[in-house]
Amino acid sequence: MPDIIQLLPDHVANQIAAGEVVQRPASVVKELLENSIDAGATNIKVIIKEAGKNLIQVIDNGKGMTDTDARLSFERHATSKIRKAEDLFDLHTKGFRGEALASIAAISQVELKTKKEDSELGTHIRIEGSEVISQEKVSASNGTSIAVKNLFFNIPARRNFLKSNTIETRHIVNEFQRVALAHPGIAFSMYHNDSDVYNLLESNLRQRIVTVFGKKTNEKLVPINENTDVVEISGFVAKPEFAKKKRGEQFFFVNDRFIKNSYLNHAVTSAFESLLPQGSYPSYFLYLTVPPKSIDINIHPTKTEVKFEDEKTIYAILRSTIKHSLGQYNVAPILDFERQSSFDTPYEFKRKPVDTPQIQVDPDFNPFKTEKSTTLKSASTSSSSHSHYTPKFNTESWEGLYAGLETQKISIEQPTAPDTLFNEEQSGETHGSKTYQIHNKYIVSSIKSGIVYINQHLAHQRVLYEEFLQNITVKDAMSQQLLFPLDISFNKSDIVLIKDILDDLISVGFDFGDFTEDRVNIIGIPVNTSESQIVIILEQLLEDIKNDVPDSSYSQHDVMAKSLAKSLAIKTGTHLDLKEQQKLVDELFSCKEPDTSPFGKKTFITVTLNDIDKQFNR
Ligand code: ADP
Ligand code: MG
């Protein structure tokens, strides 16, 4: 029998290795940036064309390479960073595998120019799919420039697998931000399709964070500093009132390397404890320095996971340091995250004239509730707060104690309040005709088989979600033109993102005037929104798009529709008049999928007559 095992040719082995190292253009950006940093560069420029699909070029002023090194750098396992296995346990560089350039060269067309300071001429090498096309001496400036063209040109399946430009650009910006935040002392710039996205000068950490995330960030930051034998911690956390509704700006760096670590993330979150409104996430930029020997960064091929020798101690130190700093900066008062209902969209769409309600109904009427009196209610309407504080020891409150009972009695018989559960039954009508709101939260309606309880917030999310999705795909949304256009400032990468999703924004009803590099001029907004909400809506939308990194244009539309629906849905606590209630119920049940919110929560529950009967026959 003949032997059948063969060694894979290098270019095949490199292509296979490339699969691990290079998932997408952003991976190339990361590897090239890290090489430039390892080469001691103080100024690094990134040039991107078509989300990195056509070109990724990184130019540095680092130490450059000799002729031979330049050629060798593309060989697999060629590295200048470790020499023996022990070096792995004392790493001071980002790279060490010697795989990146070989992998990148296996799946793209690479052009390298490099020169060392003490050489007169530099080297120019062109490689396509691992094959050296040319190598010559050229005049060049000190440092290295690597241009990676047509990524995956020789693996069409992988190239087709790349996501939309918006998504790939987002990944690139994420990598760029991580590296830039880890090295505030290095100047970075980034250009995408010839417009400049970032121009970060050499600075301190605080300035770097602020230039990356926008001027508004400055006031949010609380400094963190702690030195122990096990770990040095520095950086910032954002004050709790600036917590994000989505896990957004959370950065850990260990020895200047961005890492993800859910255990340490938990330490931070728990340090905030009760300071955070429910369902929100703290922003943080935390820099841990530990002895290189005490960590293992080898466990993940793309090196974003790190194993610590003494994770428990670091957890404890991190938590108490942040707690202490939050206390010291006295960040106690927290804004109420639930916006007041007066800011919320009136449910009636603006394009329709708003009728004055004909019937006066006590919005808070509830036959089963006793603690709140009519007296107190009228007293509290003069204040805008929703608090139900009961003043003690005055006669009013004594009256209050009984008032509930009275209300109950009166209301049942009250002819002016026909919309109670009790006379629904006689009307014998199905949903849509008679509704009733309880606790400014649920809408109750009678149906043939019993009663349905609708969660107004979740139901409205469903209605808006389907409407937005329809608008984005059919592109027929109405826009209300603003008399006074809004001028809103964003950071540069957000402006790039807005431009990327411009078509979709227009299709849901936004209309834009001029863009500058950090401001947008908004001249029209979707019909069912109000001006005061626009900043919040857009910020939330950008955040959602960044976080969800959708994997197709459909899912990007989906993220958008969900985000807008979430921001705009009537909130719990909003009083709805009868018409609004009925409109919501009708719209909900004309939805394609009325049962659940866009996030999968139940929009309503039904209690059948049978269920009720059973309760009485127990
Ligand atoms: P690694 O970074 O793991 O060593 P790479 O394949 O990324 O492996 O790079 C191979 C070698 O090429 C590096 O060890 C370094 O000596 C050299 N090199 C790569 N990029 C640069 C650069 N921008 N400037 C100087 N030398 C570089
Ligand atoms: Mg490298």
Q: How far is the CA of 176 from the centre of ligand 1 (A)?
A: 18
pLDDT, greater one: 126 or 167: 126
Phi then psi dihedrals of residue 484, to 5 deg: -115, 105
Q: Is the CB of 100 under 6 A from ligand 1?
A: yes
Q: Is the CB of 60 under 6 A from ligand 1?
A: yes
The answer to whether the beta carbons of residues 280 and 325 sit under 8 Å apart is no
Residue type at 287 in one-letter notation: Y
Residue 356, pLDDT above cutoff 50: no
Residue 481, pLDDT above cutoff 50: yes
The answer to whether the beta carbons of residues 182 and 256 sit under 8 Å apart is yes
Identify the pLDDT of residue 302: 65
Q: What is the mean pLDDT of residues 27-36?
A: 96
Pairing label, strands 307-308, 232-238: unpaired
The answer to whether the beta carbons of residues 230 and 309 sit under 8 Å apart is no
Distance, in Å, from the CA atom of 264 to the CA atom of 322, rounded to the nearest integer, reads 12
Instruction: List for the chain the helix, strand, coil content (%; round to 5).
Output: 40, 20, 40
Distance, in Å, from the CA atom of 343 to the CA atom of 530, rounded to the nearest integer, reads 9
Confidence of residue 405 (pLDDT cuts 50, 70, 90): very low
What the block records as the tokens of 225 is 């500093």
Neighbours of 199 (CB within 10 A): 14
What are the pLDDT digits (tens) for 463-474? Answer: 999 888 888 777
pLDDT, greater one: 177 or 379: 177
Identify the pLDDT of residue 343: 34
Mapped onto helix, strand or coil, the DSSP state of residue 85 is helix
Identify the pLDDT of residue 279: 77
What are the pLDDT digits (tens) for 271-283? Answer: 987 788 777 889 9
Q: Is the CB of 456 under 6 A from ligand 1?
A: no
What the block records as the tokens of 464 is 């808006």
Confidence of residue 76 (pLDDT cuts 50, 70, 90): confident
DSSP for 89-120 reads GS--SS--SS-HHHHHHHSSEEEEEEE-TT-S
Q: What is the mean pLDDT of residues 83-89?
A: 78
* Alpha-carbon distances, residue 351 vs 84, 347, 465, 530 (angstroms): 72, 11, 18, 12
Q: What is the mean pLDDT of residues 181-205?
A: 93
Where is average pLDDT lowest: 25-34, 196-205, 229-238, 487-496?
487-496
Pocket test for ligand 1, best of 28, 71, 73 (most atoms within 8 A of CB): 73
DSSP for 496-560 reads HHHHHTHHHHHHTT-EEEEE-SSEEEEEEEETT--GGGHHHHHHHHHHHHHHH--SSHHHHHHHH
Cβ-Cβ contacts under 8 Å for 499 (sequence gap 6 or more): 515
Q: How far is the CA of 78 from the centre of ligand 2 (A)?
A: 10
What are the pLDDT digits (tens) for 363-377? Answer: 554 544 444 333 333
Q: Is the CB of 36 under 6 A from ligand 1?
A: yes
Task: Supply the pTM of this predicted model.
Answer: 0.61
Q: Which residues pair with 221 in a beta bridge?
A: 238
The answer to whether the beta carbons of residues 519 and 489 sit under 8 Å apart is yes
Residue 418, pLDDT above cutoff 60: no
Q: How far is the CA of 79 from the centre of ligand 1 (A)?
A: 6
Identify the pLDDT of residue 549: 56
Q: Is the CB of 166 under 6 A from ligand 1?
A: no
What are the pLDDT digits (tens) for 500-519? Answer: 888 888 888 899 998 888 88
Q: Is the CB of 243 under 6 A from ligand 1?
A: no
Q: Is the CB of 582 under 6 A from ligand 1?
A: no
Question: Given its phi and psi angles, is residue 410 left (phi above 0), alpha (psi -120 to 50 degrees) or beta?
Answer: alpha
pLDDT, greater one: 437 or 476: 437
DSSP for 180-229 reads HHH-TTSEEEEEETTEEEEEE-S--HHHHHHHHH-GGGGGGEEEEEEE-S
Q: How far is the CA of 513 from the centre of ligand 1 (A)?
A: 45
Q: Is the CB of 21 under 6 A from ligand 1?
A: no
Distance, in Å, from the CA atom of 19 to the CA atom of 110, rounded to the nearest integer, reads 17
Identify the pLDDT of residue 559: 85
Q: Whole-number mean pLDDT of the chain?
A: 80
Buried residues in 399-429 as b, exposed as e (16+ CB within 10 A)? ebeebbeebeeebeeeeebebbeeebeeeee
Q: How far is the CA of 118 from the centre of ligand 1 (A)?
A: 19
What are the pLDDT digits (tens) for 253-270? Answer: 999 999 988 889 999 998
Where is average pLDDT lowest: 65-69, 348-352, 356-360?
348-352
Q: How far is the CA of 213 from the centre of ligand 1 (A)?
A: 30
Identify the pLDDT of residue 378: 35
